[in-house]
């Protein structure tokens, strides 16, 4: 059972590594160098009698074209990606930067451009020093042709992605995607594979020693520590919570005295950083989507269409949250010595809709779509979601009543609401 959560912890570490822009280019460079030496291995199998001779000049010409063009294309790619990232930060929200920079198509394109440049340089150096025989040259020609074809296909696909990268609509879709993944993991394991939180008023407090946001909690590590010390750990915070020295992050219930525990092991299970992350914090996805809508509704941008698109994304996320968990995806409470609180649906609604209702109160179309969205969530959700949807529909309607000066506009919003059709 411990291995199950270990995979989840490895997922978190893998995602942190995947966010680094240099990882894939470095790996592609290594593969490119290995590809050149693969061609040399063909000479050791005496395969020269079975392959047609290849003109050395043709291989050199292909490699020289590749080496002279790929570095320029890679440089152009980096400049275009930076422009797209800047556009995403300014037109959407800076909090969406990590989502845009993790775009696999762009990173794969940059990696292949750099890798093909390294391949051509290493291959040219080997040819100039007469490293290859007939078989090696033939294999190198095949590899060069394959790399050339891969670069062309990658460039075509990358140009298509670049046309959308950094645009508000694309950014909304990508934020929705990562938020959906985090939300589904939490829906399938609302206590994060721990036990329900029932003993919140008991135990010795464990306090944070640094400033930042809780990014990840290693429940498996806490469980094994609790087993070794015959204790129960009750979490007081969840990923996304801002903590400072003195903030209670957990409580330990045990018959042993406080002096007998090494709380450093408990603190080590908490990953605290300067920024919030999407992986284990679905509320952060709601906040980022809400920020994008808020910027779209600002007088400087005045783009209610983007705000309406965000509302649609929020509805899809909450509908997914309300769906029953498939039996094959449901996760049991593996770590019964760690009590984990569940995310409050009211908090998620506050993160998602408060700023949109405030900033879009004077916009008729946004008010109408927001009321329709909350009505839909009231129909598909459970009692808690229905209560949260009705509360926000009431607040949104009150804000519209204060912001809209024309009675006809207000009536349109009231007609779309589940509350104001009188």
Reported as a single tens digit per residue, the pLDDT across 169-196 is 888 998 999 999 999 989 988 888 888 8
Q: What is the DSSP string of 194-246?
A: EEE---TT-SEEEE--S-EEEEEE-HHHHHHHHHHTT-EEEE---TT-EE-TT
Q: Residue 420 pLDDT more than 60? A: no
Predicted TM-score (pTM) of this structure: 0.81
pLDDT of residue 51 exceeding 70: no
Q: How confident is the model at residue 1, as a pLDDT?
A: 40
For the segment 221-245, the average pLDDT, to the nearest whole number, is: 90
Q: What is the pLDDT of residue 5?
A: 45
pLDDT for the residue 256: 67
Strands (E), 313-417: 335-340
Residue among 393, 375, 373, 381 at smallest CA distance from 309: 373
Taking residues 361-385, what's their average pLDDT?
92
CA distance 329 to 191: 14
Of the pLDDT bands very low, low, confident and very high (cuts 50, 70, 90), residue 401 is very high
Residue 368's pLDDT is what? Answer: 94
With a cut of 90, say whether residue 422 has pLDDT above it.
no
CA-closest candidate to residue 199, choices 256, 239, 254: 254
- Beta strand 212-217 pairing with 194-196: unpaired
- pLDDT one-digit tens code per residue, 60-107: 888 888 888 887 888 887 787 777 777 777 777 878 777 877 767 777
């Amino acid at each position: 059972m411990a291995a199950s959560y270990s995979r989840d912890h490895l997922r978190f570490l893998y995602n942190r590594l995947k966010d680094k822009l240099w990882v894939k280019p470095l790996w592609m460079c290594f593969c490119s160098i290995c590809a050149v030496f693969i061609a040399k291995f063909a000479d050791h199998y005496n395969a020269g009698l079975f392959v047609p001779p290849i003109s050395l000049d043709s291989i050199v010409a292909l490699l020289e074209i590749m080496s002279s063009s790929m570095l320029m294309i890679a440089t152009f790619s980096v400049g275009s990606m930076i422009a797209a990232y800047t556009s995403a930060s300014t037109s959407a929200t800076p909090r969406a930067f990590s989502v845009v920079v993790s775009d696999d198509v762009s990173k794969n394109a940059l990696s292949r451009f750099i890798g093909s440049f390294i391949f051509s340089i290493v291959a040219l150096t080997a040819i100039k020093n007469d490293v290859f025989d007939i078989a090696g040259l033939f294999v190198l020609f095949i590899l060069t042709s394959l790399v050339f074809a891969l670069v062309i296909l990658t460039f075509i696909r990358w140009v298509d992605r670049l046309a959308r990268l950094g645009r508000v609509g694309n950014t909304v879709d990508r934020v929705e995607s990562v938020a959906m993944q985090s939300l589904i993991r939490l829906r399938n394991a609302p206590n994060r594979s721990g036990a329900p939180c029932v003993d919140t008023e008991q135990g010795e407090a464990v306090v944070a020693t640094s400033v930042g946001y809780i990014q990840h909690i290693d429940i498996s590590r806490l469980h094994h520590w609790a087993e070794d010390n015959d204790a129960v750990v009750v979490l007081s915070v969840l990923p996304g919570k801002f903590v400072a020295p003195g903030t209670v992050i957990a409580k330990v219930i045990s018959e042993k005295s406080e002096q007998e525990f090494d709380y450093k092991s408990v603190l080590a299970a908490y990953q605290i950083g300067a920024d919030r992350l999407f992986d284990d914090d679905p509320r952060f996805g709601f906040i980022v989507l809400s920020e994008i809508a808020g910027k779209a509704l600002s007088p400087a941008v005045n783009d209610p269409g983007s705000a309406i698109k965000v509302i649609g994304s929020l509805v899809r996320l909450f509908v997914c949250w309300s769906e029953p968990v498939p039996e094959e995806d449901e996760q049991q409470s593996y770590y019964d010595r760690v009590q984990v609180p569940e995310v409050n649906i009211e908090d998620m609604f506050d993160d998602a809709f408060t700023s949109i209702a405030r900033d879009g109160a004077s916009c008729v179309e946004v008010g109408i779509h927001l009321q329709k969205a909350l009505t839909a969530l009231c129909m598909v959700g459970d009692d808690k979601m229905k209560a949260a949807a009705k509360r926000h529909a009431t607040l949104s309607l009150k804000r519209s009543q204060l912001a809209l000066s024309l009675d006809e506009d207000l009536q349109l919003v009231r007609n779309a609401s589940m509350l104001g059709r009188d």
